[in-house]
Structure 1
Amino acid sequence: MKTTCPYCGVGCGVEIRADAQGWHVSGDLQHPASAGRLCVKGAALAETLIPAGRLLWPLVDGRRVSWQSALDSVAERLQKIIQQHGPDAVAFYASGQLLTEDYYVANKLMKGFIGSGNIDTNSRLCMASAVTGYKRALGADAVPCCYEDFAHAEVIVLAGSNAAWTHPVAYQRLVQAKQQNPALRVVVIDPRRSASCDLADLHLPLAPGSDGALFNGLLHWLAQGGYGDSAMQPHLAQVPETLAAAAGWTSERVAQTCQLPQQDIQAFYRLFAAHQRVLTLWCMGINQSSSGSDKCNAILNAHLFSGKIGQPGSGPFSLTGQPNAMGGREVGGLANQLAAQMDFTPENSDRLKRFWQSDRVATQPGLKAVDLFQAIGRGEVKAVWIMGTNPAVSLPDGNAVAQALQRCELVIVSDVMRATDTSAFADILLPAQAWGEKNGTVTNSERCISRQRAFIPPQGEARPDWWMLAQVAQRLGYGAAFSWQHPAEIFREHAALSGFENHGRRAFDISGLAQLSNNEWDDLQPLQWPVNGDYPQGCARLFTTPRFYHPDGKARLLPVTPAGPRVAVSRSWPLMMNTGRIRDQWHTMTRTGLVPRLLQHYSEPFVALHPDDALRYGIWPDALVRIQSRHGWMLTRAILTEDQTPGTLFVPMHWNQQYCAEGNVDRLVAPWRCEHSGQPESKQTPVRIQPWRSDWQGTLFLRDNVTPAAVNWWCRIPVADGIARFSLAHQGDPRRWLQTMLKPEWTLQQAGDEQAFYHLIAWERGEIQLAFYAAARRPVTDDALIAAAFQQPPASSESRFALLAGRAVLGEARGKTICSCFGVGEQQITAAIRQGALSCAALGQQLKCGTNCGSCLPELKKLIEQHAPQQAEAVSGRSE
């Protein structure tokens, strides 16, 4: 069975097979996006196919009910609110995790029949600025590039993208391109030295939020040097005013604004100007800004003016964050769009009225994500249906979002998991189908439509999202328009709408697929839109001839006035905090948090800061710290690294209240957003930091039938079936705290020092029930081997005493996991380096690390750099 990965926008192909041991996942060698590669998250997909934590049946007001009753309740309560307050009193909040067919039905119901524009999506937090930039410049949300361009490029620019961690398979294609063409130059633009810098020929650690100045300066450099493309100029509008807006941005001024050496800026500008095949890849570091749309247009300006678009190896390429963010944009899932990527114009609203045969089609945009939840908080929106996303964790100003949901008259949540931060506020919970259970299509970053196929039966009473929506629509009286029996019928309608009265005026057109039979849809092979009479087999690269989608056929340059972060650092808030993803986790961990090996690389939320800042604020390595902004605070673990620019912090965005107390970073992020795209400024939040002190910190291992006692700070780390690990910090005596959890029938082994530490192991009938280690600071324990002892208890007294000490019991110590694909730890790697494995290839041959997804290769190289000199010195000493 072939399907598509449900994580990032690379859209990797997945092959599924089953045997007596269960389901097995591998890369699809024929899929054009990935050619058989999978990252560690994709490779672990089979481990998410478990019933743990699933929402298995509908719940209304906390009571289990039948689907019939639940759907009746949804329809009746929505109808009552619409009748009393009008259609704009209800809203949908969707997700790039939905399939295109689900998304289409949600948008059709809200904008076409309820009659409100109030459907938005978590793609607003991800891609909205890129959408705005493309539409303003090209006349359409039409990504012009494809992954094949990596192999043709002479220069690749990574701007605001740590692709090595966020889009690992795309990054490995970049690595391959560099190996095959050593002349390829890679520029990484990022305030911190991320894993992606491993490949960089030039790293520009610019001041946070100053990207607009950098690219405005590039346009000025191109104009001054005569690098404008003469063939492209007749196809461009607004050139003089755009160049005038950029005229003051000399390399000297850019250097001052970006806080970069002028020679480095000029080196970047020369690389861009001297090569025709230049590819700029960008992601959240550009988009998640109060001026994100203008930053995107500054990138597009440089490419259009110099003619670096539409040809192999050349173009502005936004890397989509989610698996179906593009599909959601196709169906109009954003509040400021109509279906089939149409804008809100009277002509387009009328076109939809005729196609859908509805006189209720919305005529004006709805509320964008942040505005939507603020309207919920004010009581203007009285009902919200949240589908497949967790806004209580992912939206900025998280405390205000939670308060809004608490006050909302009707909260409906359709999701896979029973317990999320958002579902805690739900009046009605509807069990959705998970990956492997649902059936439909998704579209990736390069406009490639792929199939997600069902290969396992649904858990419990889970149903497709499109089915739930259609059932509610029928109960609202719109049955004829929502009478599909199969998702292929929805896809055909979606495809037909894309070509309806199009005549080449709209970029998105898959009308060539509108006549697919159910079987042909089921067998659909990956292909890139447009798919129509001109491109019956799809089209990999757009704008190969310079005809754009503005009415005059020209592209638009856009005058840009660079702007920094909405709020600057100050004496009270002296540090700039950046949020983002880490390698092994996804969004708010509702899927990846189920897989123990994905929580081994980083098990807890953390803040990365420069050692100079740590010294300034009295923070030691591994300390627990309190970070505070004007909007909230969090507790997290400190990691000191010179990869971080002084004055800046990096905090991952994944942790939620199911996995950590006070670990949600979006509670700190202000609701500032781009005035054009509505995308929040999640990358630049002024904060302060200080040590957070407790009387003790601990590590607790226990079986699932034991509930940990209340504690000031905790972080839950699943270890294996039936076993969990907790990191803890608390006040008072750890012995007294632990007593409430101990059972009389357990046999106890204890060790401790009144001032230094306290350890306890609890046994019952030869099995370990609990292991506890506490000290003034986080105790040093071999967590992997302690967990193994729960499954295979040590027999000898010597090994039991070793377990009590928290050190190796079975096998060698691994240390911190570096390679999650094969479970290879730092101590194993450093030992191999000291024994002579002085390259990534040698380490891969000996330990297998780095030989699957490649995400750990930057860390392997760092370890070689750190420990190889010791190896050389040792050899030198022996020779003497």
Structure 2
Amino acid sequence: MLADAVVKTTCAYCGVGCGIAATVTDAAARVVDIKGDITHPANFGRLCSKGSSLGETVSLEGRQLVPEINGQPVAWATATTKIASEFKRIRDQHGPDAIAFYVSGQLLTEDYYVANKLMKGFIGSANIDTNSRLCMSSAVAGYKRAFGADSVPASYEDFAHAELMVLVGSNTAWCHPIIFQRIKAIKAEKPNLKVVVIDPRETATHEIADLHLPIKSGGDVLLFNALLAELAERGAVDTLFTAAHCTGLEAAVASAKADRGDRATLAARLGIPADRLHTFFDWFTATERTLTMYSMGVNQSSAGTDKANAIINCHLATGRIGKPGAAPFSLTGQPNAMGGREAGGLANMLAAHMDLENPAHRERVQRFWGAPSIPQQPGLKAVDLFDAVHEGKVKAVWIMATNPVVSLPNADRVRAALEKCELVIVSDCIADTDTMRLAHIKLPALGWGEKDGTVTNSERRISRQRGLLPPPGEARPDWWALAAVAKAMGYAEAFAYDHPAQIFREHAALSAFENNAESGIRDFNIGLLAQLDNREYNALKPVQWPVTPDAPLGTERLFTDNRFYTPDGKARLVPLAYRAPVNALSADYPLVLNTGRIRDQWHTMTRSGLTPRLLQHIGEPFAEMHPDEAKNRGLTEGGLVRLSSRWGKAVARVQFSTGQQPGHVFMPMHWTGVLSRSGRVGAVVNPAVDPVSGQPENKHTPVAAERYPAAWHGYLLSRAPLALPAVDYAVAIRLDNGWRYELANDHVPDDWTGWATAWLQQPEGEVLEYQDVTRGIHRYAWIADSVLAALAFFGPEAELPPRAWLQSLLGKPVDALSRRALLSGKPADPEADVGRIICACFGVGEKTITRAIGQQNLKNVAEIGKCLKAGTNCGSCQPELKKLIPCEAIPA
């Protein structure tokens, strides 16, 4: 790649699918300048804090650069031959179902396609599933039940046409920031646009809410069944549309009315004030152009598929589909969860949206691939797959681009399963992850900035992800590693790929293969792209499928012809009844644990954790609780709480929020065993799954919460990275100039100085020390070569001197003034302390902002932006900025 050449690629994070214009300014040093691509229709140049920091994640620090077998570096040929021989041995001894792949929405479509082809077509098992099972499978199942196919009907262009937007189970502001900013801008231009947010928590998304429905956890089916009953009784059903294009209306309405029961008690059952509930019913009934957007709060449930269909039922009953601004729209979690669905990455699907349980589809795919056989039964879904590993039924598992020891529910059982599995293969770009630590064979994969292929976003838009930098070391594309194993197993002819364009052409050709009126029309069809040569593939512009002779430029909106992909061409309304979450609360576990993402981090932080500025806003795992709930349990803000369930435990920092319901607690999913001693919330999450989709219940785990009995709290700042110490609570936080370690334990060291010095392994130099043994306060500063090399503060309480100013001193010369101030934790110049970072995009701290507000009489977010730039990039910090302004408030 030529230096200073602009390469248009796609972001590696959420399902918005933002375009990026990247410039390699120093190839040798791997320096990349990141800007939003103003021509990309998903984001028109805007990027969130994560996307704009991608250039900070492409260094070679911590990379897996060579294949390894049992910890020893080997050649690729040795590794792939070993994998192939073990697969053949296990298949011969135990059958093909003793082998499994667990893949990821971080893979490119070309990777997914080759993995699915190898497993289902040539190894002969359907045991390939994906971490998209954890985020999107309920949405998929809901669409398939209603439409006959996994057809996302809407487009981002529908935002501008909608007159009512309903956001269900989606903290869009933090999880899909560019979509949120787009909606926010449209709302500013269209004062009559109404936004309803349905979520048990009050989140940053409420900044744009006209109405918030804080329903009880798991109550979505009851709410939308009640809405359907109201629509029927108010005469809002589109009888012409439903008679001609739907089935199941009467049964669905009858079930909804029975489920709703007594109107007088409905609001109490849902936990919603009656006036808000009726306002929602009024708005939905009266507004033709209604767009309902839903995400993990709907999908991650033991009733997730029913929740999705309850929403879709209301749109079908009113004919609000296939029209501008009117659709049930699932917001995808990962950058290529959609591409994985297209390529058959789920255990119950075939490639090109064909069904594994359909004999005609199996025969068609087998014939197209020239495969020995296609399994006749679905494979194991994610939770069941790792249960089978634990039980010894699956003898070999190949995990690609994901970290299930952190992200799956009942994560300690997942770790135990891999510890006793015969053969664990892990492909990853990072050498040290919780899952990589358990691998017998480690394969070095390409990371973002090196990969070359396609991804598909939430609105069915296929975009190119292009390589900017050469492959480091022996790292190779995932499709290449899969093909190498396939060749070593004897399938060279079927896997003779040497460029991702070949795979894409085959994928596109399969999508159009016997996709016609005679054989049955399928929704996913990009057959027109099967003729692209390598040059045209390299130049491919973003396009929404289907891409056919009738729609050569792609398709913005589905179902405009009112024809669906069921045998009779009619959509299905599904009769539903509310089911409580599988695991009920009890005296031992009286609180509901809800998990999810935060603003500046992604999944298990393998990539986003490499960026120091993304860790300055929220650097530790936290448990968000209502102040009254926390105080009743003896918890203080900033203190530590131990959450425990029937499955495991975690310790987190207490964070108060009046937007959290009493009886509930929220904890983010991101922290791993590599970065924290006890922050893996997946160990706590219950393994209940939706019976249709197999998606886990990440939003409802019964837990207990108790004060963690810390004998001391502390933090240590170090220029060099350190191993986590053997204490109960430890979190490693990357800084621009070193590392911070937050610590706590239930007993004190016999020798504070010796313990801290031994852990630090500090080279010889001067040690400044302050100890108040009576009060249990111990403070140290290590100075080497006249600069601050490390600093540690320990005390009996969680409240310690602020970190921001002290960590800014790491690596700087220690003069007489700062020497006196170091162990006090207070700068001589108060303005040197910027405070906790609020705006990650520009690194603007809370104290800097509040000083500017007071000194310059800033009255709103716009004035803060002009003064400090805070909030002027992705806008995700704007709700927090508002809270810092006197008399400013976010609408309820």
**In which range does the TM-score fall when normalised by the shorter chain?**
over 0.9
Mapped pair 1:11 → 2:31 = no
Deviation at 1:742, TM superposition (A): 5.8
**Secondary structure class of the residue paired with 1:311:** coil
1:74-126 Cα offsets, whole Å, 9 max, x none, are 11111110111111100100000000000000000000111111000000000
* Distance across 2 between alignment mates of 1:706 and 1:519: 47
Q: Is the contact made by 1:288 and 1:682 (CA closer than 8 Å) also made in structure 2?
A: yes
* Distance across 2 between alignment mates of 1:53 and 1:742: 21
Q: Which shows bigger deviation, 395-404 or 830-839?
A: 830-839
Q: 1:762 to 1:336 in 2, by over 3 A?
A: same
1:646-699 Cα offsets, whole Å, 9 max, x none, are 110000000001111011011111110000000000000010111112221111
* Distance across 2 between alignment mates of 1:221 and 1:774: 60
* Distance across 2 between alignment mates of 1:744 and 1:677: 55
Kindly, what percent of the aligned residue pairs are identical?
51
Letter in 2 for 1:427: H
* Distance across 1 between alignment mates of 2:69 and 2:613: 35
Deviation at 1:256, TM superposition (A): 2.5
Deviation at 1:711, TM superposition (A): 2.4
**Secondary structure class of the residue paired with 1:113:** helix
Q: 1:292 to 1:706 in 2, by over 3 A?
A: closer
**Secondary structure class of the residue paired with 2:809:** helix
Letter in 2 for 1:812: A
Letter in 1 for 2:755: W
- Which residue of the partner structure matches residue 125 of structure 2? 116
Mapped pair 1:855 → 2:876 = yes
Deviation at 1:575, TM superposition (A): 0.6
* Distance across 2 between alignment mates of 1:214 and 1:397: 29
Q: Which shows bigger deviation, 744-753 or 580-589?
A: 744-753
- Which residue of the partner structure matches residue 735 of structure 1? 753
Q: Is the contact made by 1:803 and 1:809 (CA closer than 8 Å) also made in structure 2?
A: no
Letter in 2 for 1:808: P
* Distance across 1 between alignment mates of 2:694 and 2:724: 42
- Which residue of the partner structure matches residue 221 of structure 1? 230
1:779-831 Cα offsets, whole Å, 9 max, x none, are 53342322221232232x12212122223367521111110001111111122
Q: 1:321 to 1:351 in 2, by over 3 A?
A: same
Give the alignment partner of residue 753 of structure 1, picking from 760, 767, 772.
Answer: 772
- Which residue of the partner structure matches residue 838 of structure 1? 859
Letter in 2 for 1:245: S
Please list, as runs of the form range in 1=range in 2, the aligned pairs for 1:18-57 lying within 5 A after superposition: 18-19=24-25, 22-57=31-66
* Distance across 2 between alignment mates of 1:182 and 1:653: 36
- Which residue of the partner structure matches residue 264 of structure 2? 252
- Which residue of the partner structure matches residue 402 of structure 1? 415
Mapped pair 1:370 → 2:391 = no
- Which residue of the partner structure matches residue 100 of structure 2? 91
Please list, as runs of the form range in 1=range in 2, the aligned pairs for 1:94-173 lying within 5 A after superposition: 94-173=103-182
- Which residue of the partner structure matches residue 668 of structure 2? 652
Q: 1:117 to 1:865 in 2, by over 3 A?
A: farther
Mapped pair 1:75 → 2:78 = no
Q: 1:530 to 1:809 in 2, by over 3 A?
A: farther
CA RMSD of aligned residues (A): 1.5
Deviation at 1:747, TM superposition (A): 0.7
Q: Is the contact made by 2:763 and 2:784 (CA closer than 8 Å) also made in structure 1?
A: no
Letter in 2 for 1:13: G
- Which residue of the partner structure matches residue 252 of structure 2? 242
Instruction: Report how many aligned residue pairs link the two structures.
Output: 867
Deviation at 1:717, TM superposition (A): 0.3
* Distance across 2 between alignment mates of 1:864 and 1:492: 55
Deviation at 1:743, TM superposition (A): 4.9
- Which residue of the partner structure matches residue 814 of structure 2? 794
**Secondary structure class of the residue paired with 1:247:** helix
Give the alignment partner of residue 473 of structure 2, picking from 436, 450, 460.
Answer: 460
Deviation at 1:489, TM superposition (A): 0.4
Letter in 2 for 1:18: V
Letter in 2 for 1:484: Y
Letter in 1 for 2:20: V
Letter in 1 for 2:15: G
* Distance across 2 between alignment mates of 1:96 and 1:808: 46
Q: Is the contact made by 2:581 and 2:700 (CA closer than 8 Å) also made in structure 1?
A: yes
Q: Is the contact made by 1:129 and 1:296 (CA closer than 8 Å) also made in structure 2?
A: yes
Give the alignment partner of residue 531 of structure 1, picking from 544, 547, 551.
Answer: 547
Mapped pair 1:778 → 2:787 = no
Q: Is the contact made by 1:773 and 1:779 (CA closer than 8 Å) also made in structure 2?
A: no
**Secondary structure class of the residue paired with 1:231:** helix
Q: 1:230 to 1:687 in 2, by over 3 A?
A: same
Letter in 1 for 2:367: R
Q: Is the contact made by 1:117 and 1:367 (CA closer than 8 Å) also made in structure 2?
A: yes
Q: Is the contact made by 2:719 and 2:811 (CA closer than 8 Å) also made in structure 1?
A: no
* Distance across 2 between alignment mates of 1:724 and 1:410: 35
Q: Is the contact made by 1:833 and 1:868 (CA closer than 8 Å) also made in structure 2?
A: no
Deviation at 1:706, TM superposition (A): 5.5
Q: Which shows bigger deviation, 771-780 or 36-45?
A: 771-780
Q: Is the contact made by 2:714 and 2:794 (CA closer than 8 Å) also made in structure 1?
A: yes
* Distance across 2 between alignment mates of 1:231 and 1:746: 84
Long gaps (5+) in structure 1 = 870-880
Letter in 2 for 1:725: R
Q: Is the contact made by 2:464 and 2:540 (CA closer than 8 Å) also made in structure 1?
A: yes
Deviation at 1:263, TM superposition (A): 1.6
1:578-610 Cα offsets, whole Å, 9 max, x none, are 000000000000001111100011100000001
Give the alignment partner of residue 547 of structure 1, picking from 563, 567, 570.
Answer: 563
Give the alignment partner of residue 275 of structure 1, picking from 287, 312, 316.
Answer: 287
Q: 1:477 to 1:781 in 2, by over 3 A?
A: same
Deviation at 1:621, TM superposition (A): 0.9
Give the alignment partner of residue 557 of structure 1, picking from 550, 556, 573.
Answer: 573
TM-score (norm 1): 0.97
* Distance across 2 between alignment mates of 1:570 and 1:868: 37
Mapped pair 1:670 → 2:663 = no
1:394-438 Cα offsets, whole Å, 9 max, x none, are 000111111111111100000011011111110100000000101
* Distance across 2 between alignment mates of 1:386 and 1:507: 30
- Which residue of the partner structure matches residue 602 of structure 1? 618
Give the alignment partner of residue 726 of structure 1, picking from 741, 754, 762.
Answer: 741
Deviation at 1:832, TM superposition (A): 2.0
**Secondary structure class of the residue paired with 1:269:** helix
- Which residue of the partner structure matches residue 875 of structure 1? none
* Distance across 2 between alignment mates of 1:448 and 1:217: 34
**Secondary structure class of the residue paired with 2:349:** coil
Deviation at 1:18, TM superposition (A): 2.9
* Distance across 2 between alignment mates of 1:868 and 1:128: 37
Q: Is the contact made by 1:15 and 1:27 (CA closer than 8 Å) also made in structure 2?
A: yes
Deviation at 1:735, TM superposition (A): 3.5
* Distance across 1 between alignment mates of 2:763 and 2:249: 81
* Distance across 1 between alignment mates of 2:278 and 2:353: 39
- Which residue of the partner structure matches residue 284 of structure 1? 296
- Which residue of the partner structure matches residue 624 of structure 1? 640
* Distance across 2 between alignment mates of 1:358 and 1:644: 53
TM-score (norm 2): 0.96
Please list, as runs of the form range in 1=range in 2, the aligned pairs for 1:427-466 lying within 5 A after superposition: 427-466=440-479
Deviation at 1:231, TM superposition (A): 3.0
* Distance across 2 between alignment mates of 1:58 and 1:744: 34
1:226-255 Cα offsets, whole Å, 9 max, x none, are 001133111010111111101121543431
Letter in 1 for 2:58: L
Letter in 1 for 2:22: I
**Secondary structure class of the residue paired with 2:355:** coil
Q: Which shows bigger deviation, 825-834 or 162-171?
A: 825-834
Q: Is the contact made by 1:834 and 1:867 (CA closer than 8 Å) also made in structure 2?
A: no
Q: Is the contact made by 2:678 and 2:728 (CA closer than 8 Å) also made in structure 1?
A: no
Deviation at 1:310, TM superposition (A): 1.0
Q: Is the contact made by 1:605 and 1:663 (CA closer than 8 Å) also made in structure 2?
A: yes
Letter in 1 for 2:592: M
Give the alignment partner of residue 493 of structure 1, picking from 502, 506, 511.
Answer: 506
* Distance across 2 between alignment mates of 1:775 and 1:395: 35
Please list, as runs of the form range in 1=range in 2, the aligned pairs for 1:679-698 lying within 5 A after superposition: 679-698=695-714
Deviation at 1:865, TM superposition (A): 4.4
Letter in 2 for 1:8: C
